[in-house]
Amino acid sequence: MILCMKLTAFAWNYYDGGKKENDLPPSSRRQAIRTFPNILEFFGFVFFFGGFLVGPSFQFNDYVQFVKKEGPFANYPSTFIPAMKTLIIALICQFIFTKFNHWNFDWCLTSEYQSLPFVLRAGYLWVAGVKTRMKYYTAWKMAEGACILSGLGWNGYDENSNPQW
């Protein structure tokens, strides 16, 4: 899924790179790819470890600036604290997933579950769904933390001069 998102965004950005700059909105101007990258740049973008299997997805031009330490990636604050915050969230999600392992969808196939009132069945499905999503949140947050730790998750400063990751 992430590879599909990256390649689709790359294709649209390359398509935008062939248009006149005045015909593009400001966000597309910044991400437009004017020249096709060499094979090493392209595969580096596609297979970047921090966002390969579970995300987060990022734009090609942001990746190139990150690798070359240009633009917003030329100087950014320490990544340790924001990455550790993301790791803690991932560990909490993993704890919830493993601690509440008995809340699973298998029980929904039993006659005991079928005999419950509708509200309780719906509530159980909701809790089991939240618990099941925790494994995906864990993987996503760990990958996000890897991007933050490397510096690729840098988004600049907000209006109060707080760093954004």
Structural domain count, the chain: 2
Domain boundary among 40, 73, 106: 73
Q: In this model, does residue 55 exceed pLDDT 80?
A: no
> Quick one: pLDDT at residue 109?
92
| pLDDT at res. 95 | 96
Question: Would you say residue 71 has pLDDT above 80?
Answer: yes
pTM of the model: 0.79
Instruction: Determine the straight-line distance between the first and last CA of the chain, rounded to whole angstroms.
Output: 23
Which residue, 95, 62, 90, 77, is CA-closest to 146? 90
Task: Please state, in angstroms and rounded to a whole number, the distance separating the CA atoms of residues 97 and 91.
Answer: 10
Pick 122 or 71 by higher pLDDT: 122
Is there a single domain that holds both residue 14 and residue 51?
yes
The parent domain of residue 18 ranges over 2-73
Report yes or no on 159 lying in a domain.
Answer: no
Domain boundary among 18, 49, 73: 73
